[in-house]
């Protein structure tokens, strides 16, 4: 048997629709709040970035101004003159690096007693090598050759090269005259 429907309107189950609609509205509100919060955060980040960009542009302009000023000052420098002054200063410093007392003590230690030096001229070469030009007299050729041998054998002297030698004569009555160059290593090269 059929039951009669006494309601004015037919009964519809709308609770699931209201629950679903309310949930969707709640989700929409939450997402809107999140979007607004992210928008404000990004906007403040963008403002901070714009401020930092302006600061960096101002700093760049200051640096460009300083570079231009420095370049103008550098353009006024006479580079050839400065290079000459630097080279002469380098020569002075190189001469001061030679410890004369040690050099003379080393020469006295190695040279035979038959040899007398009349001139010692150190010079600083590339890579800090000290080259010494020696000018002197030996009592004979044997003493001169012995001088070369002891310079070859000593660890503080290297590569002795004879430059000139002259046997005793009427012009040279002091003995066997010689000139040589050798490298000097104050700390030893071996």
Model confidence pLDDT, tens digit, residues 169-190: 767 667 888 899 998 887 766 4
* 67, 68, 85 from 75: Cα distances, Å: 12, 10, 18
pLDDT digits (tens, 9 = 90+) for 22-46: 999 999 999 999 999 999 999 999 9
* 2, 104, 117 from 152: Cα distances, Å: 134, 17, 18
pLDDT digits (tens, 9 = 90+) for 133-175: 999 998 888 888 898 899 888 888 888 888 888 877 767 667 8
């Amino acid at each position: 048997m059929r039951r009669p429907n006494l309601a004015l309107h037919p009964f519809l189950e709308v609770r699931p629709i209201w629950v679903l609609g309310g949930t969707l509205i709640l989700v929409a509100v939450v997402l809107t709040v999140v979007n607004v919060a992210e928008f404000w955060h990004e906007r403040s980040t963008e403002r901070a970035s714009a401020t930092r960009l302006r600061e960096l542009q101002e700093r760049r302009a200051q640096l460009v101004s300083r570079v231009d000023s420095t370049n103008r000052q550098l353009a006024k420098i006479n580079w050839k003159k400065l290079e000459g002054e630097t080279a002469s200063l380098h020569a002075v410093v190189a001469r001061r690096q030679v410890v004369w007392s040690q050099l003379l003590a080393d020469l006295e230690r190695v040279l035979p007693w038959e040899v007398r030096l009349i001139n010692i001229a150190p010079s600083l070469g590339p890579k800090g090598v000290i080259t010494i030009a020696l000018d002197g007299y030996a009592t004979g050729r044997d003493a001169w050759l012995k001088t070369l041998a002891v310079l070859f054998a000593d660890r503080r002297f290297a590569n002795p090269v004879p430059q000139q030698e002259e046997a005793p004569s009427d012009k040279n009555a002091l003995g066997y005259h010689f000139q040589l160059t050798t490298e000097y290593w104050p700390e030893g090269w071996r």
